A and B are shown apart, each in its own frame.
Chain A
Amino acid sequence: MVTTETPLEAEFHRLAGSVPDPELPVITLDELGVLRRVRVDGPDKVTVHLTPTYTGCPAIEAMSADIQRVLHERGVADVSVVTVLAPAWSTDDISDEGRRKLAEFGIAPPRPGGAPDGPVPLTLSVRCPHCGSTDTELLSRFSSTACKALRRCVACREPFDHFKEL
């Protein structure tokens, strides 16, 4: 999707994109790749397109409120945040900087390539964010949030979250 932003839109985009993710505050919405578009519709009117990571992600409401707040603070009176589904969000939309921050925070970042088709083969190893070992095993495909799986490092024995591919 190629859209040309005006300088003002680019500024609002940076502002909205700098909002931290409500559940993973180490990364911003821009790094997570969920902010799709910021459009200025009038002197005091902005529309923001946001896409959910998972269809049922409860954080989308908090994200929406936070975006409205930062843009209100910047002086925009009328901010509407619209949820868009297509194209579907993928973990490939997380930026390199976002991946680095996730790993630093103790969450193994998703492997590139998105979700495999059909049943989920887990072949490529996931690196332990604590000790760096690639000798890790899956404990559960579902962890503290829908977007993560729970793994354990065989080397250092620490359990850790893995942002699973979608």
Chain B
Amino acid sequence: MTAALALGDDALVLSHRLGEWAGHAPVLEEEVALANIALDLLGQARMLLSFVGDEDQLAYLREERAFRNVQLVEQPNGDFAHTMARQLYFSVYQHLLYEELATGEGEFADLAAKAVKEVAYHRDHAEQWVLRLGDGTTESHERMQLALDALWRYTGELFEPVEGVDVDAHALRDGWLAAVTSVVDRATLALPSGPQAGAWAAGAGRQGLHTEPFGRMLAEMQHLHRSHPGASW
């Protein structure tokens, strides 16, 4: 239950953040791509939250402190580079995590086996953009680097063990670091040097402590349902 909530909230919150790009993406193809990735994540969130209870109740009627997503996924979109940095950090993590869960016998194995194929495309999308922006113009290089640096301190939380998620957190972190380092190197960028964990890093989302922008995001995500309970299209 803790596990389904954690993984489900990650997917739900990131889905909502990506959905915020609708109408604002730099080009039409990206508008469509980000909405598609958001839709995949929403599908995963629905299944994961359904392990816990009523999906609508959980998505729309919980208070901020009851959400168990990592703080990384709730960070605002920022510029396109920030969104891609968040996508790179998260999709590499989610891809490795689902790969691992898919081989196990746990309750998430079927879902992970299905979702891992979708997430492979999310990961590829993020990697291609980080390469393109990092190894692009001076301006795009600088902004991609700023984005990687800004979100780095939220990445340590990805590797804190979650009760009921049967993976080796150390191995997951090693795999993640190797994959991210490889992309960052090829993109001619520098791997951020700040702390990933510890007193100077962020991350207590799994315990229900969230960053300031999350409250405003929830207000927008939940207000329709709260104002008009049971509304449907």
Does A120 lie within 8 Å of B44, measured CB to CB? no
The interface residues of chain B lying within 8 Å CB-to-CB of A89 are 114
The interface residues of chain B lying within 8 Å CB-to-CB of A120 are 120-121, 124
Verify if B40 is at the interface (C-beta below 8 Å from A).
yes
Q: Which of B29-37, B67-75, B189-197, B202-210 lies at the interface with chain A?
A: B29-37
Interface string of A110-141 (1 = CB under 8 A from B): 00001111111000000000000000000111
Identify which of A56, A86, A118 contacts B43 (C-beta below 8 A).
A56
Tell me the complex Cα distance, A45–B177, Å. 53
Tell me the complex Cα distance, A113–B114, Å. 16
Identify which of B40, B46, B120, B127 contacts A146 (C-beta below 8 A).
B40
Q: Which residue on B lies nearest to A55, using beta carbons?
A: B43
Does A119 lie within 8 Å of B120, measured CB to CB? yes
Does A119 lie within 8 Å of B123, measured CB to CB? yes
Does A85 lie within 8 Å of B110, measured CB to CB? yes
CB distance from A39 to the nearest CB of B (A): 19
Tell me the complex Cα distance, A5–B8, Å. 37
Verify if A144 is at the interface (C-beta below 8 Å from B).
yes
| CB-CB contacts below 8 Å: B119-177 with A | 120-121, 123-125, 127
CB distance from A165 to the nearest CB of B (A): 9
Q: Which residue on B lies nearest to A143, using beta carbons?
A: B32
Tell me the complex Cα distance, A3–B121, Å. 33
The interface residues of chain A lying within 8 Å CB-to-CB of B30 are 140
Q: Which residue on B lies nearest to A56, using beta carbons?
A: B43
Main secondary structure of the interface of A (DSSP, over half): loop
Does B113 lie within 8 Å of A52, measured CB to CB? no
Verify if A57 is at the interface (C-beta below 8 Å from B).
yes
Does B29 lie within 8 Å of A54, measured CB to CB? no
Tell me the complex Cα distance, A86–B47, Å. 13
Verify if A24 is at the interface (C-beta below 8 Å from B).
no
Does A56 lie within 8 Å of B32, measured CB to CB? no
Verify if A58 is at the interface (C-beta below 8 Å from B).
yes
Verify if B49 is at the interface (C-beta below 8 Å from A).
no
Identify which of B40, B110, B125, B127 contacts A54 (C-beta below 8 A).
B40
Name A residues whose Cβ lies closer than 8 Å to a Cβ of B.
52, 54-58, 85-90, 114-120, 139-146, 150, 164, 166
20 additional A-B pairs beyond A85-B47, A115-B121, beta carbons within 8 Å, are A52-B43, A52-B114, A54-B118, A55-B43, A55-B44, A55-B114, A55-B115, A56-B40, A56-B41, A56-B42, A86-B110, A87-B113, A119-B124, A140-B33, A141-B124, A142-B29, A142-B32, A143-B36, A146-B39, A166-B117
Name B residues whose Cβ lies closer than 8 Å to a Cβ of A.
29-30, 32-33, 35-37, 39-44, 46-47, 95, 109-111, 113-115, 117-118, 120-121, 123-125, 127
Could you pull out 17 A-B pairs where Cβ atoms are within 8 angstroms? Answer: A54-B118, A56-B41, A57-B43, A85-B111, A86-B109, A90-B117, A116-B120, A118-B120, A118-B123, A119-B120, A120-B120, A120-B121, A139-B29, A142-B33, A142-B121, A146-B118, A166-B117
